Structure 1
Amino acid sequence: MTDVRAPQLRLPILLRIGAVLLGLLLTLLLVLVFFPWNMLREPVNRYVSERTGRKFEITRRLDVDLGWRGATIKLDGVEFANPAWARDPYLVKAERAEFELRLWPLLSRRVVIPRIALVSPVLGLQMEEDGRRTWALGKNTADSGTAPVIGLLEVDNGSLDFLAGFRGVDLHADFSFDSAQGDMPLTYRIKGRYQRQALTAQGRTGNVLQIESAGAPPFPIEIDATAGRTRLKAQGTVAELSTLDGVDARFDLRGQNLGDLYPLLGIALPQTSPYALSGELRKQAKQWNAIGIKGKLGLSDIGGDMRFDQSAKLPYLSGQLRSSVMDMDDLGPLIGLPPTERSANAVDGVAPPPTITEVKRARRDPGRKVLPTATLDFERLRAMNADVKYTADRIRNVRELPLDQGAVQVKLKDGVLTLDPLKLGVAGGSLAGAIRIDGTRNPADIRAALDVRAMQLNRLIPKVETMRTSFGKLDGRVNLAGQGNSVASWMGSASGDVAALTGRGQFSNLLLEFMGLDGGEIIKFLLGGDRNVTLRCAALAFDVDKGTMHSRSVMMDTEDTVFNATGQADLSKETLDFVVRAQPKDMSILSLRTPLHIGGTLGSPSAGVEAGPLATRGALAVVLGAINPLLALAATVETGPGTDADCQEVMATAKRPASREAASGAAKAKKQ
């Protein structure tokens, strides 16, 4: 017979067991709630000190509020020492500290602290090149696995020191809290060195700083910082302080040179005149975006958008920039020259850098070379990749080089810098081509291949333009290849081909007579006015062999005179040695026709007639003058032996290099 009472007996037993367990749980909860946690203060001090290898002490009282997911730990007075190798004695020392600790991650040895609140803290953070950091909690301070994940940080007054000597960083920050400041009650001041440059900064932020992203809304922040010669003002919000993720701010950036941003931000920008830029700055993950950039670069306006992506092995800079008006004075620093006085003083609020005039005066060397000697920065060439397009709608202050407009695409990939395509509107024509600098070699391999098309000579030569002449149009090319770490050293070693050609046009007769030293014609045109003569053809072509420009075809043929020049220019020494011979085609008296010697240097050229032929004519004039003064004029009579040049042959000669070295250099330059 079945016992029907057994299930009825088990139910009260289960209820009694459940009631006992519930009672035990309630008792445990009551014990935990009313537990005198301060009794654990000394054991906690000993335990943390042992586990971390450095002294930890709760100086006055310990209290804990438990929850289902975590615990809120309250410390009245806390001191946590730094490792013995650190400069500052304490990692943290505060009047009071409160932090929330997630319990479940502790099972996997992860320390997750969603919130820390500190009252009057003194913080000492330091990191070393070998990976040691004072905030790593294990005995091995280079072990990143023991570093806590910190969410929000609340600070009520206090100070912070951060030292990373191997990066040139040594900063001290003071914080003060004032609830009357609205949504940004925490004011901070920073002073010290950043990337080995003096840094000062001040600003405000919310009292809650989000160290790691934890789903909280971005906190407001504003900053006014000066590092070296660079000043940044910004106001906006930041979602995560440790990586600056979620930045959304308006910025105003100004300084003496955009190149100064490389040690500060790791962005390899070119050397420039003083600048002032503003726009919006945003960051998501590893990508920075500068949107709506507007401002000045020296005397030029500039605007556009830029992106800086740090996700790849090498950071990548890209964007598009445009100038409505670009001033030629602003181009000097790009090739290693100091800015002009106009550019140096163009931006308000920026101390002007030394100008090219001041630099020359300080050197006290008027014969110094004129080709830029500033060396390439190979570290910058290899620091990132880039693809940036720049366009100038109009170019002004061109002086002796009448540029109209320009555009260039700058690419930097694995240490190789290219300007391709490079297009400039010059004197109604164009200069187009490419320049390549291979920074993976030392000295760098540099190549330039440029073509000249339809430049108007009357605009290209200002002195001729003032005489209201009407030249023809100029075509030409520059194909040079060589090695060097500056413009000067490259040109001093380059080989290749340089040529300029023009066909028929009009030329100032007065200017020609001055060039030919024809006194009678000069007097005639000074009394009767200038007139133009026909230019049949002209060529200016050189073979460049390892830095020396040898004249291949240097000739100008007009209806009055044929000019031929021979000689060379040494680009390494920057010396000139040319002889210009003029052969008039008409008869004239008072002619002192004799070869013209052009010498000196690029920085200080000189010109003078050759003494031998001139002395011969002078002696003849003296002899004839002794017989009859009027006969002395016979010695200066020019019978006009010059004949028309074979323009087709001249052009053909100018179009092709003659030497093997020049031909090889030109071919290499065009390969890019």
Structure 2
Amino acid sequence: MLALAGLLTVAILALYFMDWNRMRGPISHYLSYRFGRQVRINGDLSVDLFRLQPRIRARSVEVRNPGWMAPGAPPAGRFADIRLEMRLLPLLVGRLVLPLVQLDRADVLLVRQASGRSNWDRAGGGGPLKMPPIRRFQIRDGHVEIHDRVRRLDFAGTVNSHERGGRRAAFVLTGDGTLNKGPFKADMRGGPLLKVDENKPYAFSADIVAGKTHARISGAIDHPFHLDHYRADLKLSGANLADVYYLTGLTLPGTPPYHLDVTVRRDGLVYKLTDLNGQVGGSDLAGNLSIDVSGKVPALAGRLASRRLDFVDLGALFGGGPAKAQGAHLLPDTPLHTERLRQTNAEVDFSAARVASRDFPLTSLDTHISLEDGVLDLKPLSFGMTQGRLSGTLMIDARRAVPVTAMDARIFGVTVGNFINGREKPLEGELAARARLTGRGDSVYQTAASADGTFTAVIPRGQIRRSLAEWLGVDVISALGLTLSGDESSTTVRCAVAHFGAKDGVLASQRFIFDTAPVLVEGGGTIDMRRETMKLRMQGKPKHFQLLRVRAPVTVSGRWDRPSVGVDAGPALGQGGIAAALALLNPLASVLAFVDPGLAEDANCGPLVRQARAEEAYPGKRD
């Protein structure tokens, strides 16, 4: 017994008088194993064990970078002075509680390469390092430097936890730099770190400005130093929601200027975004989302809705924006960052109770957005219209270097008058149409310029102003008489069929027939989506004797935004009347192609429709 007491006394004396600097090597090795990075204690190491709260002090401590970092780079962490206090009783039962952690002149360097490899990943993998409970946390003259090639972020900031009699104590991180080559500023603040209770939420706030993106955050961490569980209110605004990618790594669509409010709740690897509400362009937006980051890429899921969707706001989704300078493409040619589609998965429902559109008779929108492994599907994509419906699917396959886009769109139950400007409609009738197109490219223009497929439109019956029909037949005497007299009487449209085949961005007509009571118009031509031009030719064949008729075709040619309408021979005769009539139609560039509702055959149009169906041109034949 005396021998045991003597041995214990010797051990206590040895620990009391030990030169702890001799233990720097073994302790450094243990810390290296614990943190997964090489740790070195270069300065003095002192330990005071004989207290209820043992103290440890280490000077000049370094945390080295992984081996792949460039030689000569500053260490991942450099600390001039580290002071720790531990509670003895919990330590005796294997639980670490730190009443004090104090870091003086702490310099931290965080680096991530474009491949995603970072110097903060733990060697050998494993989960994140769990912090023990800390009662009092002090940082004096700390500095943080971040170089993140994934986010394109370069940041330098200072970190301090000020103590002013306890009342004004706070954690403060401020700094600036660049994000995606634009200015970046961050100001993050927390409550006092003097009497931290591990079971009491810790309040924090942040104000981040990245270019034109501004995020204001106010929230609380459920358990201090456990950053994987918190709740925060986020106010987010900016010029384009897609720019949030550089802050979060989350792929979001391009938008006009926006401002959003949302409550964010993090539980481990799942973020829940609830009570989202705000404005995107001229459209309101609300809903709930969740983001699961446990997989290889973030997974977004939820439902969004708009009470009123401004149709022009959808233009930013496809690279649209302010009017281009003269000579530029009419179709949007802004790259759509389709490579980002490989960096997020999503399953999101979106609906708009009302669609406001100046150019199209749209009333509502419903779609399901599916994004998986680089393939984006909008299926179904359905627009309600004042009469009828536009529905179809849109797929973008971004798994290849050059993305492939496929569209299958149908329109049914719609009258032609919906696409004609003005109160008086010179042409009425039910329209059925379908477009099936596939193209390659990372912009709308490039996709259209390489498109293959078909476009078909059919009017099985209708009414046309008689003067317009006579102009189409170039019956000068009859047309002038009807026009000058103000005669607005109508005649029957027996049938109209337009069928185009697309190859390498050029739509070539395979059938164009417009059959009215006084005249049968046949035509053809091309619509070049690469050059954004058209060259159409229509020849009218009268069904009755004409005193004066110019036997020449009507032509429509030139750029989509300024087409030229004329007659091959004697352009002075009738050209003004034809141009005035055709100008009532919306520009061809703004007409979309859709699918047919399966209308019943018209007796007068039966042969043409049956022929078109036989060639799968008439969309009344369902797949």
Task: Find the counterpart in structure 2 of residue 347 from structure 1.
Answer: none
Judged with a 3 Å threshold, the aligned counterparts in structure 2 of structure 1 residues 148 and 567 are, in CA distance, closer, same or farther, namely closer
Judged with a 3 Å threshold, the aligned counterparts in structure 2 of structure 1 residues 210 and 128 are, in CA distance, closer, same or farther, namely farther
- Measured against aligned partners, the alpha-carbon deviations of 1:376-397 in whole angstroms (never above 9, x if no partner) come to 534312112211111011111x
- Measured against aligned partners, the alpha-carbon deviations of 1:365-420 in whole angstroms (never above 9, x if no partner) come to x3333223334534312112211111011111x22222111111111112211110
Task: Find the counterpart in structure 2 of residue 186 from structure 1.
Answer: 171
Task: Measure the CA separation in 2 of the matches of 1:574 and 1:169.
Answer: 42
Specify the SS of the correspondent of 1:217: coil
Residue 431 of structure 1 and its aligned partner are, at CA, apart by: 1.1
- 1:561 equivalent in alignment to 2:519: yes
- Measured against aligned partners, the alpha-carbon deviations of 1:592-647 in whole angstroms (never above 9, x if no partner) come to 56311111123442222103x66999xxxxxxxxxxxxxxxxxxxxxxxxxx9952
- 1:91 equivalent in alignment to 2:82: no
Judged with a 3 Å threshold, the aligned counterparts in structure 2 of structure 1 residues 367 and 146 are, in CA distance, closer, same or farther, namely closer
1:537 to 495, 499, 508: 495
Task: Find the counterpart in structure 2 of residue 598 from structure 1.
Answer: 556
Task: Measure the CA separation in 2 of the matches of 1:88 and 1:224.
Answer: 28
Structure 1 residue runs without a partner (length 5+): 1-16, 137-141, 339-355, 618-643
Conservation of the 8 A alpha-carbon contact between 2:90 and 2:97: no
Specify the SS of the correspondent of 2:610: helix
Conservation of the 8 A alpha-carbon contact between 1:91 and 1:134: no
1:122 to 82, 85, 106: 106
- Measured against aligned partners, the alpha-carbon deviations of 1:22-80 in whole angstroms (never above 9, x if no partner) come to 7986x6798699x47xx746545677679867453249x7644545xxx53254x8332
In terms of Rg, which structure is larger?
A: 1
Conservation of the 8 A alpha-carbon contact between 1:154 and 1:207: no
Task: Measure the CA separation in 2 of the matches of 1:215 and 1:150.
Answer: 11
Task: Find the counterpart in structure 2 of residue 441 from structure 1.
Answer: 400
Task: Find the counterpart in structure 2 of residue 201 from structure 1.
Answer: 186
Task: Measure the CA separation in 2 of the matches of 1:412 and 1:209.
Answer: 47
Residue 113 of structure 1 and its aligned partner are, at CA, apart by: 7.0
User: What is the one-letter code of the residue matched to 2:84?
Assistant: E
Task: Find the counterpart in structure 1 of residue 445 from structure 2.
Answer: 488
Task: Find the counterpart in structure 1 of residue 382 from structure 2.
Answer: 423
Residue 203 of structure 1 and its aligned partner are, at CA, apart by: 3.5
Task: Measure the CA separation in 2 of the matches of 1:379 and 1:115.
Answer: 48
Task: Measure the CA separation in 1 of the matches of 2:214 and 2:139.
Answer: 28
TM-score, structure 1 as length reference: 0.74
Residue 332 of structure 1 and its aligned partner are, at CA, apart by: 1.1
Task: Find the counterpart in structure 1 of residue 462 from structure 2.
Answer: 505
User: What is the one-letter code of the residue matched to 2:254?
Assistant: Q
User: What is the one-letter code of the residue matched to 2:388?
Assistant: G
- Measured against aligned partners, the alpha-carbon deviations of 1:343-382 in whole angstroms (never above 9, x if no partner) come to xxxxxxxxxxxxx22xx23xxxx33332233345343121
Conservation of the 8 A alpha-carbon contact between 2:465 and 2:489: yes
Q: What are the within-5 Å matches in structure 2 for residues 204-219 of structure 1? A: 204-208=189-193, 216-219=199-202
Task: Find the counterpart in structure 2 of residue 80 from structure 1.
Answer: 61
Task: Measure the CA separation in 1 of the matches of 2:171 and 2:21.
Answer: 34
Conservation of the 8 A alpha-carbon contact between 1:367 and 1:603: no
Q: What are the within-5 Å matches in structure 2 for residues 214-613 of structure 1? A: 216-239=199-222, 244-338=227-321, 356-357=322-323, 360-361=324-325, 366-396=326-356, 398-463=357-422, 466-468=423-425, 471-513=428-470, 515=472, 520=477, 521-585=479-543, 592=550, 594-611=552-569
Task: Measure the CA separation in 2 of the matches of 1:608 and 1:164.
Answer: 63
- Measured against aligned partners, the alpha-carbon deviations of 1:294-331 in whole angstroms (never above 9, x if no partner) come to 01111111111111111123321111111111001111
Judged with a 3 Å threshold, the aligned counterparts in structure 2 of structure 1 residues 522 and 63 are, in CA distance, closer, same or farther, namely farther
Task: Measure the CA separation in 2 of the matches of 1:604 and 1:105.
Answer: 83
Task: Measure the CA separation in 2 of the matches of 1:369 and 1:474.
Answer: 29
Task: Measure the CA separation in 2 of the matches of 1:557 and 1:198.
Answer: 63
- Measured against aligned partners, the alpha-carbon deviations of 1:244-285 in whole angstroms (never above 9, x if no partner) come to 311201111111111112232111111111111111101111
- Measured against aligned partners, the alpha-carbon deviations of 1:68-114 in whole angstroms (never above 9, x if no partner) come to xxx53254x833245483436961124x733438899999xx99674
- Measured against aligned partners, the alpha-carbon deviations of 1:140-177 in whole angstroms (never above 9, x if no partner) come to xx577999753337125432223345444433124352
Specify the SS of the correspondent of 1:530: coil
Task: Measure the CA separation in 2 of the matches of 1:313 and 1:581.
Answer: 60
Task: Measure the CA separation in 2 of the matches of 1:97 and 1:455.
Answer: 77
Judged with a 3 Å threshold, the aligned counterparts in structure 2 of structure 1 residues 188 and 181 are, in CA distance, closer, same or farther, namely farther
Judged with a 3 Å threshold, the aligned counterparts in structure 2 of structure 1 residues 541 and 160 are, in CA distance, closer, same or farther, namely same
Residue 473 of structure 1 and its aligned partner are, at CA, apart by: 1.6
TM-score, structure 2 as length reference: 0.79
Judged with a 3 Å threshold, the aligned counterparts in structure 2 of structure 1 residues 572 and 166 are, in CA distance, closer, same or farther, namely closer
Judged with a 3 Å threshold, the aligned counterparts in structure 2 of structure 1 residues 570 and 240 are, in CA distance, closer, same or farther, namely farther
Task: Measure the CA separation in 2 of the matches of 1:420 and 1:497.
Answer: 20
Task: Find the counterpart in structure 2 of residue 57 from structure 1.
Answer: 43
Specify the SS of the correspondent of 2:611: helix
Judged with a 3 Å threshold, the aligned counterparts in structure 2 of structure 1 residues 156 and 513 are, in CA distance, closer, same or farther, namely same
User: What is the one-letter code of the residue matched to 2:552?
Assistant: T
Q: Name the stretch that deviates more: 502-511 or 273-282.
A: 502-511
User: What is the one-letter code of the residue matched to 1:244?
Assistant: L
Judged with a 3 Å threshold, the aligned counterparts in structure 2 of structure 1 residues 515 and 240 are, in CA distance, closer, same or farther, namely farther
Q: Name the stretch that deviates more: 448-457 or 146-155.
A: 146-155
- Report how many residues are paired: 575
Task: Measure the CA separation in 2 of the matches of 1:566 and 1:169.
Answer: 58
Judged with a 3 Å threshold, the aligned counterparts in structure 2 of structure 1 residues 388 and 146 are, in CA distance, closer, same or farther, namely closer
Task: Measure the CA separation in 1 of the matches of 2:154 and 2:413.
Answer: 55
Specify the SS of the correspondent of 2:494: strand
**Percent pairwise identity:** 26
Conservation of the 8 A alpha-carbon contact between 2:147 and 2:154: yes
**Over aligned residue pairs, what C-alpha RMSD do you find?**
4.2
Judged with a 3 Å threshold, the aligned counterparts in structure 2 of structure 1 residues 335 and 582 are, in CA distance, closer, same or farther, namely same
